[in-house]
Structure formats: C-alpha cells, structure tokens
Amino acid sequence: MNNRVLCVEDDPGTQVVLGGIIERAGWRPESALSATAAREVLASSPDIPVVLLDWMLPDGSGLDLCRELKTTSGASLYVILVTCAARRKTSNPVSTRAPTTIS
C-alpha cells in the first residue's frame, strides 16, 4: 500500500505541523501550497491515496477542488477537508460551520 499523503495547505507553518502529524502516524507527507500545485502533484503521482485539503486556498476553494478530485479519481482517492480560521472580534459574526456531507 502506498503510504503517501498529499497535504494541500497554503500556510507554511500549518503545513509543517500537519506534515509532522502525518509522519508520526506512519505516513509520508507530500506538500502543495495551492490547488494548482495539488493538481500537478496528483498528475505526476496518481498513486497518492489520501489528500488532506485546506478549505480555503489562495487560488480556489478546497471544496471545489474536492469535488473535482472525487469526479476524476472517484473512490480511489480519500479526501479529508481541513479548516482552521482565527477568531476575530466582530459585531456581526459569520458562521463557519462546515456541511457534514459532500456530494
């Protein structure tokens, strides 16, 4: 079994933390800082079985990329969406709750 995980995260600090978690779990992390870079990595390494995908990327939505990957790769690729947003003080808070299912 291929033990590589593509970590798609635009924040370098978060990329390092997630990479360490992936390594400690016994997997080999690969990294991409954008949706475009993720597509390139997966095109050159289609045997990567797992993608850890940031919800918001500088060049697109992680959710849109997830849908694209599931359309092109189907059940052979596991995609885990991750979000991490800093709380800001605001007079009009916006819900950042993620949907429970992706279709």
Tokens coding 67:
């849908």
d(CA 66, CA 55): 9
Instruction: Map out the domains of the chain as residue ranges.
Output: 4-46+55-82
Which CATH number is associated with domain 4-46+55-82?
3.40.50.2300
What pLDDT tens digit does each residue of the chain (103 aa) get? 689 999 999 999 999 999 999 999 999 999 999 999 999 999 999 999 999 999 999 999 999 999 999 999 888 899 999 987 655 555 544 444 544 455 4
- Any bridge partners for residue 78, and if so which? 50
pTM score, whole prediction: 0.79
